[in-house]
Structure 1
Amino acid sequence: MTHRMKGFCGLVLLSMLVTGCRKGDQDVAPDKPLTWFDTFAKALDDSLKTKQIGYGFVILEKGEVRASGRGGLKSRTTESEGEKAFTLDTKTHIASMSKTITTMAFLHLAAEKGLKTTDKIAPYLPPSWPKGENIDQITFRDLMTHRSGIIGLGNNCVNGAFSENIWSGFKQLVQQGVKTANRGNYCYQNANFGLFRVLIPGILGYSFSGDDGTDDLQTQQRYMDYVQKNVFEKVGLTNILANHPTGDPTYTYSYLKTGITGWNPGNFTNTIGAYGWYMTPTEAGKLFATVLSTTDQSVLTTAWKDTLLTHRLGTYAGTIPGGAIQYHDGWWYLKLAQYQGVRTVWMTFPNQVTAVLFVNALHHSRGNFPSDDGTDIVTYLSRAYTLTRQMKGGRKLAEKVILEHDEPH
């Protein structure tokens, strides 16, 4: 066993010995036996609360919250808003977790319109956009698995953020086309999912005017309206926006703690799609657990859920000792002298268990999850699950976590 694992095992063992555990904002009575979910939450809480970062997490079973935790600050004394606690109702930019939401929206629409994921995207792009090489070969599934052949305006598979995810950026990428040699090869690009901001309105029948300014604003609004009505509202969520609440941002910071003013990621309305939604841990837990870990079919039918999970559409897969996991993490940052940003993840485990974790700080020398040993958020959360299950079952399990794509997304 590595030194890292001994440390985490010790943490989980310690949690088994305590007589109380936070469950939401309430303490479990000392004479009430700890559930496995309490132990999982206590292990996460104990390892996060010492880091002087803002964090929130929820753990659900079949769509029901079984345990949760929160701590730290979303706004420090360095900000004009002053010191504010990070809670389970703190709106945070969920970054690339948004890609799974875009996937849900498209699959819901595909069911309505009789589309297949293998259909071509070209008929739904603006007619006035020049179409480069192989654009007519790209399918919806290609976009949702990052195998479209799009590798960015620099032709080097460096993921584009702002300039390639505004209207003019999409237009340039489509005009540039994709090389035959790149078709079918994995290349993580925000534009693959950002393009659905244009495609979904096209499928809905929007008549592109040919005026870039008009079409940009119209497609933004139509995309967001469709997601609101057919994803968020279907599971009882309202007021999910591409911006933080007015005057109440969640700032992002560096770990280890510094006195540097925090960074407000701001408004993503004109780049929404691959990233950009703001949600609370509670809201995100409800959405991802309901759609992916229950029998609820208001957003996706069972068949479309199977399609999403089987073909890894807007998701990634991995293997842990207890079975298979699926997830999508999020990563958004500003790098000046140091990294400041968010790290987020939703993850489904065996037995219809779902967990969501948000933190508002990044390791200032690496830009990843604020751990001291290099463990990133996906491995951190899946390992916590495995070790807590191990303590519950009383048997030793292998420690290895195997991920399809272990880089931050």
Structure 2
Amino acid sequence: MKNSNVKKTKTLFQSLSFVVVTITLGVYSCRETEPEPLTATLPDLFAQKLEDTLQNRGVGYAFTIYEGTELKADGSGGFQSRMADPEGQKDFTPDTKLHIASMTKTITAMAFLKAASQKGLKTSDLIAPYLPTSWKLGAGIDKITFGDLLTHKSGIRGLGGSCLNGAYGENIYAGLKSLMALGVTSRGNYCYQNANFGLFRILIPRILGYAFTGNDATDDAQTQQRYLAFLQQEIFEKVGIQNAIASFPANNPTYTYNFPLTADQRGWNPGGFGLVLGAYGMYLTATEAGKIYASALSSGTNEVLTPALADSLIVKNLGCYKATSNLGTMVYHDGWWYEVLTPAGRGLRTIWVKFPNNLTCVLFVNALQYKNSSLIFPFNDGNIVGFVYNAYAKALQARGARVSAESVALSIEHPEPH
């Protein structure tokens, strides 16, 4: 999920709508490793393949791997803050909170499905009756459905009329109001926009019974509070997470950096996101995030979503994407955020991935690399989806699975950073 306040050009990915990424197994490891014993579990091997590249590179990172709803492996390294930062050097661990960026979109999709189930709504229902009555609705807004928002097919293209992701100012209450007044002309066409999910910060409280007052300041504050309270009650508490937040813990920020890191480089604090929750903004640890996505989407569980709602989310691509190969289909949502005030902005990259065999992986990295006019994941040519998949495929191979020693093709429909 990128912060595009002043970003004017597309990344090298954004000009593509569909690509096939060919991942060569055994290429990205940064050091020789001893062959793993065949008694090692798939999660342990998966973790080792991730560590082979991530460790000792100066980047702060953490990952967790769940089988069903049980944590099977985790790993971390680097620092959440460094010697040059005011807080001094602090280790990055699986319990370090980081802005999860657009991984939040999947949580918003979960929240809508739960609220809709409680109130008898469907993804095919129109959003207009649930928008503030004081808002002016432009042409085409009356045709948008909840499902359109959840799949980025609403026709919203931002105040600039382009398909570059909208700026922070478009996701505050006044910005969403302006977008609805602008109207849409291309409903049904995919266009990735944060506002599609930012609107749920307002829609979910209304679905649950909030009566708009017509006072923008009041309605803004109330919908923020009610949206976050619903997430806390219906999602976070179901897996034992208390006091979910939309900013770093007080006096304990996780900074982000440029890659490669230098000894004197100071980090950037992304700050708080209470005003724009919905599309991005939640702060979680890798352990907490793993609990949420594993519990919500693992077969046979219903801590967060019933199996029927989980199937609906995955089948309809609500707040998630799919990538396919001859190893099966994986479901995921990645995220990113970066500082735009320097030529090579300091940033972060996050992802959750659900694999076919009931494995769920979450990975956080607190650095981005500036390359070819783009800010990208520091490894695997910038492709975080392929990076996690590559580690998984190599783990299967180490367990004796019939995985090509040359390559495994991974098809990604929307490969741009989200």
Q: Same fold (TM over 0.5)?
A: yes
C-alpha separation in 1, matches of 2:30 and 2:311: 36
In the alignment, which of 348, 355, 360 is matched to residue 349 of structure 1?
Answer: 355
Deviation by residue 1:354-401 (Cα, 9 ceiling, x = unmatched): 100000000133311111x51411110011111221221253334111
Distance 1:187 1:9, change over 3 A: closer
C-alpha separation in 1, matches of 2:370 and 2:34: 32
Deviation at 1:404, TM superposition (A): 1.6
Deviation by residue 1:62-106 (Cα, 9 ceiling, x = unmatched): 111111110000000111100000001000000000000000000
Letter in 1 for 2:234: N
Bigger RCO (CA 8 Å, 6+ sep): 2
RMSD: 1.9
Q: Which residue of 2 aligns with 1:36?
A: 42
Q: Which residue of 2 aligns with 1:61?
A: 67
- The answer to whether 1:187 aligns with 2:191 is yes
Query: Which structure's residues are more often helix, by fraction?
Result: 1
Q: Which residue of 2 aligns with 1:238?
A: 242
Q: Which residue of 1 aligns with 2:7?
A: none
In the alignment, which of 10, 35, 50 is matched to residue 17 of structure 1?
Answer: 35
The 5 Å alignment of 1:123-162 reads 123-162=129-168
Q: Which residue of 2 aligns with 1:97?
A: 103
C-alpha separation in 1, matches of 2:230 and 2:343: 39
Contact 1:256–1:364 at 8 Å: present in 2 too? no
C-alpha separation in 2, matches of 1:51 and 1:243: 27
Distance 1:129 1:48, change over 3 A: same
C-alpha separation in 1, matches of 2:270 and 2:34: 38
Contact 1:320–1:386 at 8 Å: present in 2 too? no
C-alpha separation in 2, matches of 1:315 and 1:238: 25
Deviation at 1:5, TM superposition (A): 2.6
Q: Which residue of 1 aligns with 2:403?
A: 396
Distance 1:126 1:10, change over 3 A: closer
In the alignment, which of 378, 381, 384 is matched to residue 377 of structure 1?
Answer: 384
> Per the alignment, in what secondary structure is the counterpart of residue 257 of structure 1?
coil
C-alpha separation in 2, matches of 1:306 and 1:15: 39
Letter in 2 for 1:263: W
> Per the alignment, in what secondary structure is the counterpart of residue 238 of structure 2?
helix
| Unpaired segments ≥5 residues, structure 1 | 20-31
Q: Which residue of 2 aligns with 1:222?
A: 226
Contact 1:201–1:223 at 8 Å: present in 2 too? yes
Deviation at 1:331, TM superposition (A): 0.7
- The answer to whether 1:267 aligns with 2:272 is yes
C-alpha separation in 2, matches of 1:175 and 1:67: 48
Distance 1:10 1:231, change over 3 A: closer
| Unpaired segments ≥5 residues, structure 2 | 1-20
- The answer to whether 1:200 aligns with 2:204 is yes
Letter in 2 for 1:292: L
The 5 Å alignment of 1:252-331 reads 252-258=256-262, 259-331=264-336
Contact 2:23–2:410 at 8 Å: present in 1 too? no
- The answer to whether 1:5 aligns with 2:5 is no
Distance 1:257 1:9, change over 3 A: closer
Say how many residue pairs are matched: 392
C-alpha separation in 2, matches of 1:189 and 1:114: 27
Letter in 2 for 1:404: E
Distance 1:278 1:10, change over 3 A: closer
Letter in 2 for 1:349: F
Deviation by residue 1:241-266 (Cα, 9 ceiling, x = unmatched): 10110000000001111333211001
Contact 2:134–2:214 at 8 Å: present in 1 too? yes
Please, which moves more after superposition, 97-106 or 374-383?
374-383
Deviation at 1:17, TM superposition (A): 1.9
Deviation by residue 1:333-368 (Cα, 9 ceiling, x = unmatched): 113131211100000001111100000000133311
C-alpha separation in 2, matches of 1:320 and 1:361: 28
Scaled by the length of structure 2, the TM-score of the pair is 0.90
Contact 2:299–2:307 at 8 Å: present in 1 too? no
